[in-house]
Structure 1
């Protein structure tokens, strides 16, 4: 007698996801009761399950814990060139790697430029079981990743983009607004009258918060002047170009707060080319306390943010999420300090 096995026509999780118009990872999150799923998305998946008559299939043998990859993704939402040009990223990785090594885990680098193809590829990678969690840095206002539906724990480096993800993701950030306030207050105390700023990108919370701190102090001192604000992208070349524009617009400027040390390097270069002495003619303060700031001419006064500790704290938060049950998202803000050198 020959036994013929009929094909299994029961609906699968992939069928449910397709009917609901979501990813398989999202459907799985709903099925397993994961809390961080949008109510409308949960309703779509549950309706699709009911429509198809989906019944969860249990494995013949269940292990006490799910398999682990022992890997964590470090997701940088920038072009690769920017990743290797800005020491900020290396310092975050250093702090993260220190914690992961102690936990017997490894870091996988994932760069995500702004194009849709790269975004879709990154989401697919994160939701396909290659890593146990993700650390995400340098998020821009374009909201490059659908992090809510990747199906793994996520911790952000920096405040979520303008409220998106606020209350839904844990994040670790520096006190960007407070640090900028400290920098501008110091310049005022030093007797500077016309204080300009090379602000960071307007689509990044760090750039927006540092500009906010600058504006708050200038307004309190009755010195608000939109003509003193120019913008860069946190890179050195943009700091130089922005300073040229500022000098053309306001040649009487006698101090500049740059929202990153790399931009401050560009500020120093532009001032030198314009024949302005630092700090005699123009005082300069940066933000980050990058190692290179100790070796500029003159050495750079700056706001120190604990970058390595940010990477380490992000990782500790993520490891706790991976090891245990889902917990309410946490917001961690680390203090900044003024480092006084010869540029101001």
Structure 2
């Protein structure tokens, strides 16, 4: 069959020997189409190189053929935070074998809480993966109560009705702190992540639990923001308020790097004067001096699991609501 231009739906129908409506149903999911007709249409599509019109297809299927990766953080964080960068790469790679397009949604200055949730609920995408969410961004209640398939990378604050994957952040906080206790440190402080994020809360809980089990004071606490600058400033506050500090658990490697800067500026050696542990092992730990002792955050495995779960939901497969929680592992460096 010779065509003067790009193949149309009518061309496919003629080549397959079926009606236009049957060809349309076969291309858009195969509803009420016999196996013989489906095979004929598939063969015609392949021979003619037919590419469906997405706008017309969405009217039939009520699907947009796109999913959203929602990161309620300023856009600059995507480029500088290794966890967020790895999440973006992982979701994109997970969709490579599909026809789905990826839509990235980041926070904008002055954005009102709930604005992202309202966008997602307006039919612009077929599903969503949420990473680095905060308590007040309104994503949890809106997605839990809606029909849009969604998977969170990170434990939600209220997980009823939500699917999620995460690392064992409590266990990781305990593991990093235990390393400092076993080293013989006796005045151990922590730089928490933001406490409006479950990762920040859970890693803080791990530190506090380990400290109390060791019979040590747990008052040396400074909240950070998962950035290098935040880690530097939090360390300065810790040193000012607790001058006898001999160890710090920072809830991310970026903040641990900031701690190393602050300690060096005060003439304190690591680990001689103050030992330091971090959390993530996503490239930062290997580039610091000394190399950080840290906890591995299996972001690749988590993102793969989240993407696979979302694709299964979009395909109509039954997926259990049980969370997927990945184990932690201590990665030894020279800082502790």
Do they fold alike, i.e. is TM over 0.5? yes
Contact 2:155/2:164 (CA < 8 Å) preserved in 1? Answer: yes
Following superposition, the deviation at residue 81 of structure 1 comes to 2.3
Aligned match of 2:213: 220
Give me the whole-angstrom Cα distance separating, in 1, the residues matched to 2:146 and 2:76: 26
| Corresponding residue to 2:151 among 139, 152, 155 | 155
Give me the whole-angstrom Cα distance separating, in 2, the residues matched to 1:110 and 1:202: 22
Aligned match of 1:15: none
Give me the whole-angstrom Cα distance separating, in 2, the residues matched to 1:149 and 1:123: 11
Give runs of aligned pairs for residues 10-29 of structure 1, distance below 5 A.
none
Aligned match of 2:252: 260
Q: What 5-or-longer segments of structure 1 have no aligned partner? A: 1-62
Aligned match of 1:142: 136
Aligned match of 1:251: 243
Moved more, 125-134 or 285-294: 125-134
Give me the whole-angstrom Cα distance separating, in 1, the residues matched to 2:80 and 2:122: 30
Moved more, 191-200 or 324-333: 324-333
Contact 2:74/2:107 (CA < 8 Å) preserved in 1? Answer: yes
Give me the whole-angstrom Cα distance separating, in 1, the residues matched to 2:133 and 2:100: 24
Contact 2:77/2:84 (CA < 8 Å) preserved in 1? Answer: no
Contact 2:282/2:297 (CA < 8 Å) preserved in 1? Answer: no
Give me the whole-angstrom Cα distance separating, in 2, the residues matched to 1:337 and 1:137: 22
Aligned match of 2:160: 167
- Secondary structure of residue in 2 paired with 1:108: strand
Give me the whole-angstrom Cα distance separating, in 1, the residues matched to 2:108 and 2:327: 30
TM-score by length of 1: 0.76
User: Which protein, 1 or 2, shows the higher relative CO under an 8 Å CA cutoff with sep ≥ 6?
Assistant: 1
Contact 1:174/1:333 (CA < 8 Å) preserved in 2? Answer: yes
Aligned match of 2:281: 289
Aligned match of 2:32: none
Asked if 1:209 is matched to 2:202, the reply is yes
Give me the whole-angstrom Cα distance separating, in 2, the residues matched to 1:127 and 1:241: 39
Give runs of aligned pairs for residues 27-38 of structure 1, distance below 5 A.
none
Give me the whole-angstrom Cα distance separating, in 2, the residues matched to 1:313 and 1:301: 27
Give me the whole-angstrom Cα distance separating, in 2, the residues matched to 1:139 and 1:85: 17
Asked if 1:110 is matched to 2:105, the reply is yes
Give me the whole-angstrom Cα distance separating, in 1, the residues matched to 2:138 and 2:62: 29
Contact 1:169/1:330 (CA < 8 Å) preserved in 2? Answer: no
Contact 2:312/2:319 (CA < 8 Å) preserved in 1? Answer: no
Q: What 5-or-longer segments of structure 2 have no aligned partner? A: 1-57
Aligned match of 2:304: 312
Give runs of aligned pairs for residues 38-187 of structure 1, distance below 5 A.
66-113=61-108, 115=110, 117=112, 119-120=114-115, 122-145=116-139, 146-161=142-157, 164=158, 166-187=159-180
